């Protein structure tokens, strides 16, 4: 048999259309927790289309026990978080309207604009207000779930998933298997080996081990549908560009008797189904799935946050690490005076002009290593109230959540 240059190295390349089709038709399909939770996260139209796709794949699906645990643990939180996002967007719109009205009043009082100019500004502003109000109302109307109605009972969409996936959910592994899986998950995390070595806990490996023990895997390809599949702790990456699954994951599958491994995000799956059957997946659903994936990738993880603080401290920038922690404990902001207190010097004894630079340098290294995406908010941002000196520094909202989590 003659070998070619690429034989045995398929994981370094993105699978082509035929390979994906074959895997979806013949293989075992694992839906990660975030895919199932997207049913609750999406708007009604997208939710229905995603459910229909899951229904078509149901006879090939395998849901590890660990994924079922994570779904039930997080379903109410996902809906609550979505409500918080909509409320924050509504508040932002209200603040924009408030600021424009204040500016209009200021220009009027100072007689900066003539009467015709003020009338023209008011007319334009009214159209702008109407557009903002419409966008706010439309966003609220598109989402129909209420977290308060989900506490302590099975919601209708979980019931639908339960019906679709009946017989496809694994039983709880034995205590011996759980102990071994946990130890191996910790070993891989410390050695930075896939899957999920960037997560704070080895949860990904726990369900991955269940998949590898599945008696139906030998002789079949394996499809993992997970929005985490876009991360570098699942995919082989070069300069931030995801290619194929990590080598160790492909080796795991082959060792368990599987024939191939294909990684897909929810967006990839919906797009794939839409290419084969355009009437089944709308453009609106694809856009929503893309936005959900982008939002997920643009957030800091707890591991990246702790790594940031650790590297700043180890590099001799303890004051930066403490400033970030202080801002996170104060709803995301540390004043100018707070920063000087952290530095241990009198106000204005040192310039704050390059105070954030070390944190940005660490951010660059985290990105190079794939620990954060290019879209994350900078870890330390100078705030100004007009020209002049900074009034303080803000940190990403995720940091506030991390500090709150640690204190509970």
pLDDT (tens digit, 9 = 90+) per residue, 193-226? 889 776 667 779 999 999 999 999 999 999 999 9
> Whole-model pTM?
0.69
- The CA–CA distances, whole Å, from 89 to 38, 83, 137, 184, 291 equal 20, 10, 11, 42, 15
CATH of 10-77+151-297, one of 3.10.50.30, 3.40.50.1010, 3.60.10.10, 3.30.360.10: 3.40.50.1010
C-beta neighbour count of 93 within 10 angstroms: 18
Q: pLDDT tens digits, residue range 320-329?
A: 999 999 999 9
Residue with token string 């995301």: 332
Rg (CA), the chain: 25
Q: Is pLDDT at 235 greater than 90 in this prediction?
A: no
Q: pLDDT digits over 150-203, tens only?
A: 767 778 899 999 999 999 999 999 999 999 999 999 998 888 788 977 666 777
pLDDT value at 297 more than 70 = no
CATH annotation of 302-407: 1.10.10
Residue carrying the six token digits 């059957």: 277
Domains of the chain, by residue range, sit at 10-77+151-297, 302-407
C-alpha to C-alpha distance for 125 and 130, rounded to whole angstroms? 8
Alpha-carbon distance 338 to 141, whole Å? 42
């Amino acid at each position: 048999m003659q070998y070619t240059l690429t034989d045995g190295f398929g994981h370094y390349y993105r699978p082509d259309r035929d390979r994906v089709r074959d895997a979806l038709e013949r293989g075992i399909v694992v839906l990660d927790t975030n895919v199932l939770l997207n049913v609750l996260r999406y708007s009604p139209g997208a939710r229905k289309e995603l459910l229909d796709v899951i229904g078509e794949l149901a006879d090939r699906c395998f849901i590890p026990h660990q994924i079922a645990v994570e779904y039930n643990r997080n379903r109410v939180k996902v809906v609550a978080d979505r409500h918080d996002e909509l409320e924050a967007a509504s508040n932002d719109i209200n603040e924009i309207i408030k600021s424009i009205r204040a500016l209009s009043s200021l220009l009027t009082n100072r007689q900066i604009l003539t009467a015709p100019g003020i009338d023209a500004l008011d007319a334009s502003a009214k159209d702008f207000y109407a557009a903002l109000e419409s966008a706010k109302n439309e966003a609220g109307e598109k989402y129909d779930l209420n977290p308060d109605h989900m506490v302590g009972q099975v919601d209708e969409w979980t019931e639908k998933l339960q019906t679709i996936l009946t017989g496809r959910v694994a039983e709880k592994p034995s205590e011996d298997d759980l102990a071994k899986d946990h130890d191996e998950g910790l070993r891989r995390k410390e050695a930075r080996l896939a899957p999920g070595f960037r997560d704070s806990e080895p949860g990904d490996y726990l369900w991955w081990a269940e998949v590898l023990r599945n008696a139906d895997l030998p002789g079949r390809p394996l499809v993992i549908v997970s929005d985490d599949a876009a991360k570098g702790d699942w995919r082989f990456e070069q300069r931030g560009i995801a290619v194929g699954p990590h080598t160790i994951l492909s080796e795991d599958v082959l060792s368990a008797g599987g024939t191939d491994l294909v990684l897909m995000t929810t967006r990839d799956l919906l797009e794939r189904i839409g290419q084969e059957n355009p009437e089944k997946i709308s453009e609106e659903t694809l856009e929503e799935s893309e936005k959900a994936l982008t939002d997920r990738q643009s957030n800091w993880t707890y591991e990246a946050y702790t790594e940031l603080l650790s590297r700043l401290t180890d590099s001799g920038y303890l004051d930066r690490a403490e400033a970030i922690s202080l801002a996170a404990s104060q709803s995301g902001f540390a004043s100018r005076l707070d920063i000087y207190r952290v530095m241990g010097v009198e106000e204005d004894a040192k310039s704050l002009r390059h105070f954030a630079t070390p944190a940005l340098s660490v951010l660059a290294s985290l990105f190079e290593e794939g620990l954060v995406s290019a879209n994350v908010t900078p870890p330390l941002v100078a705030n100004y109230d007009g020209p002049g000196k900074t009034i303080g520094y803000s940190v990403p909202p995720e940091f506030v959540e991390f500090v709150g989590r640690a204190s509970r």
